[in-house]
Chain A
Amino acid sequence: MTPLSQLLPGQYGKLSSLNPERSVDQRLMALGLLPGMVLKLVRKAPLGDPLAIEFAGQVVSLRLTEAQNILIDVAADCPIQRPRPQA
């Protein structure tokens, strides 16, 4: 399992856990993001934060700190991308 914040752009996977105590996760659940659903990290903002994720036919932005505790089972058939060297 990988925190959503560590996914690379283009990678996707199944949402394995959310924490309903957190207000971010409550928001995402209201938008239809429920455990087991496939979500994809579409891109990062030009400054590296926030992230744009896609699920259930919509694109939603959330901050890196808010994505740290959202765990993803990254799909095996994900496009393999080498991580860009961190500046």
Chain B
Amino acid sequence: MSAAEPGLTVALVGNPNTGKSTLFNALTGLRQRVGNYPGVTVARKSGQCDCGDGTKVELVDLPGLYSLSASSPDEQVVIDALSGHLADDRRPDAVVVVIDATNLLRNLFLASQLSELGLPVVLVLNQADVAAEQGVKINADLLSRRLGGVPVVLTSAWKGEGIAAVRRAIGEALRSRVRMPAVEWPALVEEALADVAAGVAADIGRAPGRADVERLLFDSTTSVGQRLGWEAPRREAVIRAARDKVRRAGYNPLAAEPLIHYERLRKLLEGVVQGGGNRTGGSAAVDQVLLHRVFGPIVFAGIMLGMFAAVFWLAKFPMQWISGGVDWLKAVVAPTLDGLPMLQSLVTDGMVGGVGAFLAFLPQILILFLFVSILEDSGYMARAAFIMDRLFSWCGLNGKSFVPMLSGFACAIPGLLSTRTIEDPKARLATAFAVPFMSCSARFPIYALMCAAFIGPVYGPGWESVVMVGMHCVGLLFAVPTAFVLTRFVLKVKPQPFVLELPRYQMPKPRDVLWRMWQNAAEFISKAGTVIFAITIIVWALSYFPRDPAVEQRIRATSVGVAPAAVDAQVQSAYVEQSWMGRFGKSVQPIFDPCGFDWKITVGVLASFPAREVIVSTLGVTYSVGEGAEADSQHLQQVMRAAKWTEGPRIGTPIFSLAAVLALMVFFALCSQCGPTVATLAQETGGWKWAAISFFYMTTLAWLMAVAVYQVVSRLT
């Protein structure tokens, strides 16, 4: 990628909640590229930044972090990127450290650690306007002088103030290459660092970077040793001896780094910062209400209800426009290919349908990310996690799992994309695993059809609603234990402590919100979209071929005097029956026999793997009602009620017995029947492994539970 390009690279780093993304958007003017770092699900954002004098540099926005002691994949990426250890990335030529001007001391800790990298540095003291409002006076010149002349710029990225000065400072840093003076370690600590460096050099034959040596000495969980290829037994001996030396200097080796850095920074900031007594005042007042024991949960429930209603209901309108547009396109294209039925079907049902299949997700993605971006940028997301954490922590998830799981009840796709807000990789993966279990709106049609056709007429509307609500709970019932087992016994990743900053409340910037909505949608289209398109074409081919015209001629010849629509429906049904999909469905029907499914239901189940909502229209085709059947189709309901087994031990009994109806619904509640979900899961977990595990786990579980329900209920009734 960037390695092939000539020119300079500048990295943007900083603590979370410093307005780093706002600054990045302001500096690059949205000329950005978004990708992924290889092998990890950490987004790589980069863009072109003008240094004010026509010089263009590539600005890379690295994930926000508090310290270089890496524990999450995001943090590891920052360390690897800054030391030039990422496969596709060059080491940056300079680093811009974004600092929250209202909390200089804590933010400078990261900058102080970064000074060990030996890279030219620009310090951006962002949110300077907020600091000024709080009565904090910052002497930027004095700070710059004490840091060896490193450019220090005061900005307010939100208001667009100071952006030009940042551009000039980047240009200046690249020319003068002024570095921040490194920490002066106590003599014994310095010796310990030298010992580790010597140990590495002796064993791997090259001298390590200073920053790597510090990670080895000070961090108990660092993966730098593995990356350097430094063998464990030797490494442990050298590090143990070096840490003993740090202990002799009077420091706990694991606490030495923050203690020494913070001591340095306290001296550095003397006279630089003045005033600013009550820095958390305004937000504390808001929290009195938003985190109140009674009002807090009420406001939370209101916001979440609004979000859910928007994703579930509001998104329906643009989704209808999209499906209307797709139908219109089909109607326009179809006549032009009238003489070529195969091509006509490929273009209309396969290609146009395939594009429509992933475009249909866009409204929900955009609306959810409108909410997610506003919640995150305003600072409320952390509060939401604070309120909900207790309900999730016991099963290995955390408070941030709530939004993705709630969104899963509308659609799993935006829910999966929003798992990115979860920092802890273990909780993120477990949440991503749980989201597809939530009863999404695509499961509604089959529940509605089954309830309207079989539950309501026999047991009354009361039971109809009970079954409806019950089906929406089935997924949740299995998702929670799944997350528990996954985090407790399967994932061997160390759990992350749930230390979460409750940042100052801020007004979200519309440009940042819109930009984030668009980026998520664009990534979904470019990654998952292609997979969804391919799946649609494959399924189209499986249910279209082989297509022997003799089938149609035979039916048309024998059905004289029958209504043309009924004949067309019969022709379609016959074609599907002898297609690859139909043949496959018939041959695997014995597998679904213990669930009480006949071959027609089996074909419907198989055809629904790319998108579960097609079950209703597939049943319409296999039961010869014709294409385009909906859940409220009286005709389809009548035909299904009349359907009887024509062979086997259950001959003469209704196919849709109570047992089979419940088994079918439970199967759809649990089965992984959504190509886009599997594709998005792969996109969000960094490979097909977890997507495949999820697919097989959910599908097996669905089959087992459908068998259990059928076998138990059919014996009771």
**Are A61 and B502 neighbours in the complex by a CB distance under 8 Å?**
yes
A contact set with B: CB distance below 8 Å: 18, 20-24, 26-32, 34, 42-43, 45-50, 52, 54, 56-63, 66
Contacting A at CB under 8 A, from B452-483, are none
**Which of B109, B292, B296, B297 makes the CB contact (< 8 A) with A32?**
B109
A18, A47, A57 pick with most chain B CB within 10 angstroms: A57
Residue-by-residue, is B384-401 near A (CB-CB < 8 Å gives 1, otherwise 0)? 011101110100000000
**Are A59 and B221 neighbours in the complex by a CB distance under 8 Å?**
no
Chain B residue at minimum C-beta to C-beta distance from A33: B258
**Are A23 and B71 neighbours in the complex by a CB distance under 8 Å?**
yes
**Are B103 and A58 neighbours in the complex by a CB distance under 8 Å?**
yes
Using Cβ atoms and an 8 Å threshold, which residues of chain A touch B323?
Answer: none
Using Cβ atoms and an 8 Å threshold, which residues of chain A touch B386?
Answer: 45, 50, 52, 61
Judge whether B102 is part of the interface by a CB distance below 8 angstroms.
yes
**Which of A21, A30, A49, A59 makes the CB contact (< 8 A) with B69?**
A30
**11 A–B pairs (Cβ distance < 8 Å), ordered by A:** A21-B254, A23-B496, A24-B497, A26-B69, A29-B258, A34-B259, A43-B287, A59-B283, A59-B287, A61-B386, A62-B500
Chain B residue at minimum C-beta to C-beta distance from A57: B279
Chain A residue at minimum C-beta to C-beta distance from B136: A57
Judge whether B492 is part of the interface by a CB distance below 8 angstroms.
no
Nearest-Cβ distance from residue B583 to partner chain A, whole angstroms: 55
Residue-by-residue, is B79-115 near A (CB-CB < 8 Å gives 1, otherwise 0)? 0000000000000000000000011011001000000
When A31-B66, A66-B498 are in contact, do A45 and B390 touch as well, CB less than 8 Å? yes
Using Cβ atoms and an 8 Å threshold, which residues of chain B touch A30?
Answer: 66-67, 69, 109, 258
A28–B255 Cα gap in the complex (Å)? 11
**Are B496 and A57 neighbours in the complex by a CB distance under 8 Å?**
no
Judge whether B591 is part of the interface by a CB distance below 8 angstroms.
no
**Are A50 and B390 neighbours in the complex by a CB distance under 8 Å?**
yes
**Are B393 and A49 neighbours in the complex by a CB distance under 8 Å?**
yes
Nearest-Cβ distance from residue B499 to partner chain A, whole angstroms: 4
A50–B387 Cα gap in the complex (Å)? 8
A9–B109 Cα gap in the complex (Å)? 29
Using Cβ atoms and an 8 Å threshold, which residues of chain A touch B71?
Answer: 23
**Which of A23, A29, A50, A62 makes the CB contact (< 8 A) with B255?**
A29
Nearest-Cβ distance from residue B6 to partner chain A, whole angstroms: 37
A42–B382 Cα gap in the complex (Å)? 15
Judge whether B43 is part of the interface by a CB distance below 8 angstroms.
no
Using Cβ atoms and an 8 Å threshold, which residues of chain A touch B497?
Answer: 22-24, 27, 62-63, 66
**Are A47 and B500 neighbours in the complex by a CB distance under 8 Å?**
no
Nearest-Cβ distance from residue A60 to partner chain B, whole angstroms: 5
Nearest-Cβ distance from residue A16 to partner chain B, whole angstroms: 14
Using Cβ atoms and an 8 Å threshold, which residues of chain B touch A27?
Answer: 66-67, 497, 499
Q: A30-B69, A59-B280 are in contact. List 8 more A-B contacts (CB 8 A).
A: A20-B253, A29-B255, A30-B258, A47-B387, A52-B291, A52-B386, A59-B283, A60-B501
